[in-house]
Amino acid sequence: MKELIAKYREKGFKLTPQRLAILKFLNGNTSHPTAEDIYSNIKKIYPTVSFATVYNTLQTLKDKNEILEITIDPQKKHYDPNIKPHHHIICIECNTIGDIFEDYSEALRLPDYIAMEFKPVGSHVDFYGLCIKCQKKERRKRQ
């Protein structure tokens, strides 16, 4: 907590209680929350917090490279405080997102022809699957 405050103060963040609550919620969070998830969590502590604050804070954090915006879910954006390069797997039933810590960069060579069209700057692998919960539900349904 102390370190969190120190870290963000160093980076020139103005540390309001709402922001701190958001930072605290995100810190070490591996659940890939949506803006709504963050909002409803913060609202428990600061009932008057607004969506604008959540979105503004997320934008600031994106700008300062403190979080990643994840686009694997077609319904909505998810946010990830883990900015170390990694990949994701999403459950095609319930949209739960899991982390994949593997370095595929060596294998993900682009074909030569693409250099005429794009200068690559990064990559990310979306895996699709069924989470255990949804596997169990499927099995139940089948019987």
Partner DNA sequence: TATTAAATTAGAATTATTCTAATTTAGATA
Partner DNA sequence: TATCTAAATTAGAATAATTCTAATTTAATA
DSSP state of 115: G
Question: What angle (nearest 5°) sits at the alpha carbon of residue 18, between those of residues 39 and 1?
Answer: 110
Residue 66 binds Mn ion, judged by CB under 5 A? no
Q: Whole-angstrom Cα distance, residue 143 to residue 40?
A: 37
Q: How far is the CB of 87 from its own copies (least distance, A)?
A: 9
Q: Which residues contact 38 (CB under 8 A, 6 or more apart)?
A: 22, 25, 26, 54, 58, 79
Give, as ranges, the residues between 35 and 74 that touch DNA (CB under 7 A): 35-36, 46, 48-53, 55-57, 59-60
Residue 125 binds its own copies, judged by CB under 8 A? yes
Residue 13 binding: pick among DNA, Mn ion, Zn ion, none (C-beta 5-8 Å cut-off by kind): DNA
Residue 125 binds DNA, judged by CB under 7 A? no
Do β-strands 97-100 and 68-70 pair in parallel, antiparallel, or remain unpaired? unpaired
Do β-strands 87-91 and 78-80 pair in parallel, antiparallel, or remain unpaired? unpaired
Among 47, 132, 140, 143, interactor with its own copies by CB under 8 A: 132
Among 3, 10, 107, 139, interactor with its own copies by CB under 8 A: 107
Chain residues in the site for its own copies (CB under 8 A): 69, 71-74, 77, 89, 91-92, 98, 100-102, 104, 107-111, 114, 116-132, 135
